[in-house]
Structure 1
Amino acid sequence: MDERARKVDYVEKVKLRVGDLHPGMYVCELDRPWLETPFLLQGFEIKSDIDIEALRRHCQYVYIDMLRTRTVEMTIDALPPRSYLNDKRLTSFEKEIETAETTRKQTAIMIRGIINEVRFGKTVDIAMAKDAVSSCVASVIRNPDAMMFLTQLRRKDEYASQHAFNVCIYSIILGRHAGFDAAELEALGTCGLLHDMGKIAIPETILNKEGALSREEMALMREHTTKGREILLAGHNIFSGSIDVAYGHHENLDGTGYPRGLEGHQLSQNCKIVAVVDKYDAITSARPYRPARDHLHAVGILNKMAKERQLDGFLTEGLIGYLGIYPPGSVVELSSGETAIVLESNPAQRLRPQVLVVRDREGAQVERFMDLAETSKDAFGNPLRIKSVQRSDAAEVDLNRYRKVILDSLNA
């Protein structure tokens, strides 16, 4: 890739519920004829929430033209020479997924061990954390899609360890975009892994409350940044950057964050990176007080926060640019009526990834691998493409159920 500004374009339409729309999206098709609605133009950009409300009165879902949509389309200027966008995968998804799964399991065990030790008054074992992060960095460098897929295999009873692992992986990926070398990635990954240590000191009744927090409860929740700093300061040989990130990952570039109200020029690059990926993973994770939001919903929120200078714009664009429309682990509906799980993106054809088909057009369960870059038509000779992205819970697809199927099949 050359050093000139480049544009990441998405040229196919994507089906979205009206409730997931955001200003800047370009509506190209409705779920009913245009003449049955009051919209004068057959295709328009959503300018405000008023447009969304008008669509809500007449439609359940619409189709978005990703080429004309400003909330997903982005321009990435002057990529650092070591950016991941300049890299080729060193191993295939098939070869890396088993190693990545082993690394994920070991990291999860290590995180739970650290949490339990801190709860019993012991200090953080930074050596264990560094070893785990080193393995994560090596796996991401070899093939980031394998680790990206594993971030989507979520269990409700493992939120703390899963969130720490996910933020670690996303941070490493975004660090590569920023041009970090291996040593810098390991330091950054450690920051991501330990960023929420302070939540150990927050009562579980607050962490797991199903309703909205009261003002007093929110004040206690926000103390996790200060508590995290204190916990890490008590450790031995702790990387100072991890203390800074635990303390500052909820600060905003415009000074509206907490606990100190710092502005962008006062925040480290590691802090800015973890802030972006922490928001993304929190939005796409199910919590006691709300269901998980889908990927495109999260993209809309991140874009809005970057526009309002709460998040770093370049880093936000970098994460969205890598994830694309169909990140590994996404559940999608094909134009054939089949349901599939995205496994790995095709760098040359980002809209035609490799998938595992898990339900046929009649709804019967199947297990069939397919590379959409090589398969242009369905069994009936019709053009085959991804029709829409679905939430895994809404589609009733349990990604964990297919973990062993995917690992066994790819390593057969």
Structure 2
Amino acid sequence: MRYVGIESVEPGQFLGKTIYSGNGTVLLSAGVQLTVYMISTLNRIGVTMLYIQDPLYADVETEDILSEATKQGLIQEMSDAFEAVRSGKEWNTQLIGASVDHLLEDVMDNKELLVQLTDVRTADNAQYVHAMNVCLLSTVMGVNMGLNYQQVKELATGALLHDIGKNGMREGDELFPDSKSHHTWRGFEKLKNKREFGLLIAHVALQHHERVDGLGIPRGLTGDEIHLYAKIVAAADAYDRMIHPLKPSGRRLMPHEACEQMMAMSEKQLDHGVLVQFTRMVSIYPNGTAVRLSNKETGLVVRQHRGLPGRPVVRIVRGEAGHLDIKELDLAQETTVFIEAVLA
């Protein structure tokens, strides 16, 4: 598979990864042959990047930590919960807990994989995919930092629900970040009275926009005043928002650019210890990404190295059909060759 911009997709190509709607149902299944109408519709509903199948890279997989069933369940449960909050109804915390359990099972089964956030977003599913990604990133960091199972489950649940306070908001509610109408306070209020959840889960919603330098919101907490769960979720939230901006007009950073920007936030906005763990577990050049190397060759990232996210294996294809020269450069071994640029 190749990871490409929507503007590069042509009719007749085959979709590489399933696209989900906002309620967790399948919008387009992997393997479907794309038509002009499908491509136009994807562009209209906000899709910017997607995977397509390519015979030269048929063996290239995204190595997702989460199964398709887990993703579909998470998106569906988040959609149901958020819709209930919007309409002022009660929502099923047990189903949320079950979805988190499935996510934890997948994470524990795939601990050696780097996190690659490659699920296709639409205007309809963006907030749910964001919640899922923040939950996944936070969970993997928590596991790597040695949290026990109960702690990781609390962290994962808080991460999944960190933005639940945004639902049912009115225009102007966020004009005063220190007011109780801000989504951090609203999320805290919605979660603190859920007996199935511990109070720490509510504090993730309350504190995930705090900064270690004290310039965050809503309470201006500093350093150790911010709970570790909230520090972890803040890093995951910042990263996912950089590679998938909240507003369509926002600049979308590539994963390696986002990681560089996050490291510049160390001990200002984000906790340094959390960032160290983050950089060890996220794939900054996801499989299927086209890159230009420092030796001026171009190729596609096909495999990752755990612990060396900046040194993947790159496949280089030269020549024409019937006379192809294919080689792979393992950048963990080719220490004088570097990725110079990511090609859109």
TM > 0.5 fold call: yes
1:15-34: CA deviation from partner (whole Å, max 9, x where unpaired): xxxxxxxxxxxxxxxxxxxx
Structure 2 CA distance, aligned partners of 1:96 and 1:255?
A: 38
Pairwise CA distance, 1:258: 0.9
Map of 1:11-410 to 2, 5 A cutoff?
97=64, 100-144=67-111, 148-149=115-116, 151-157=117-123, 158-203=125-170, 216=175, 223-288=182-247, 289-308=249-268, 310-323=269-282, 325-327=284-286, 330-333=289-292, 337-340=297-300, 342=301, 344-347=303-306, 350-353=309-312, 372-373=329-330, 387-390=339-342, 395=344
Percent identity between the aligned chains? Answer: 26
CA contact (8 A) 1:249 1:274 kept: yes
Structure 2 CA distance, aligned partners of 1:181 and 1:361?
A: 49
Question: Taking structure 1 as reference, are residues 287 and 221 closer, same or farther at Cα in structure 2, changes over 3 Å only?
Answer: farther
Structure 1 CA distance, aligned partners of 2:98 and 2:235?
A: 24
Structure 1 CA distance, aligned partners of 2:140 and 2:69?
A: 19
Specify the SS of the correspondent of 1:238. Answer: coil
Bigger-Rg structure (1/2): 1
Larger displacement relative to structure 2 (326-335 or 191-200)? 326-335
Structure 1 CA distance, aligned partners of 2:157 and 2:140?
A: 13
CA contact (8 A) 2:209 2:218 kept: yes
Structure 1 CA distance, aligned partners of 2:302 and 2:198?
A: 34
Pairwise CA distance, 1:353: 2.9
* 2:88 maps to amino acid: G
Specify the SS of the correspondent of 1:245. Answer: helix
Specify the SS of the correspondent of 1:388. Answer: strand
1:293-330: CA deviation from partner (whole Å, max 9, x where unpaired): 1223222322222143x321111111013226435565
TM-score where L is the length of structure 2 = 0.68
Structure 2 CA distance, aligned partners of 1:100 and 1:115?
A: 22
Structure 1 CA distance, aligned partners of 2:332 and 2:114?
A: 25
Specify the SS of the correspondent of 2:339. Answer: strand
Question: Taking structure 1 as reference, are residues 374 and 263 closer, same or farther at Cα in structure 2, changes over 3 Å only?
Answer: closer
Structure 2 CA distance, aligned partners of 1:277 and 1:333?
A: 27
CA contact (8 A) 2:62 2:286 kept: no
Larger displacement relative to structure 2 (318-327 or 268-277)? 318-327
Pairwise CA distance, 1:112: 0.8
CA contact (8 A) 1:145 1:345 kept: no
Question: Which residue matches 2:13?
Answer: none
Pairwise CA distance, 1:187: 1.4
CA contact (8 A) 1:195 1:246 kept: yes
Pairwise CA distance, 1:247: 0.7
Structure 1 CA distance, aligned partners of 2:142 and 2:204?
A: 14
Unaligned 5+ runs, structure 1 = 1-92, 208-214, 378-382, 396-412
Specify the SS of the correspondent of 1:202. Answer: coil
TM-score where L is the length of structure 1 = 0.58
Larger displacement relative to structure 2 (226-235 or 96-105)? 96-105
CA contact (8 A) 2:115 2:281 kept: no
1:356-405: CA deviation from partner (whole Å, max 9, x where unpaired): 88xx66899xxxx986449989xxxxx99663342xxx71xxxxxxxxxx
CA contact (8 A) 1:353 1:371 kept: no
Structure 2 CA distance, aligned partners of 1:156 and 1:221?
A: 30
Pairwise CA distance, 1:162: 0.8
Specify the SS of the correspondent of 1:332. Answer: strand
* 1:317 maps to amino acid: V
Specify the SS of the correspondent of 1:306. Answer: coil
Structure 1 CA distance, aligned partners of 2:62 and 2:118?
A: 19
Specify the SS of the correspondent of 2:157. Answer: helix
Structure 2 CA distance, aligned partners of 1:349 and 1:265?
A: 30
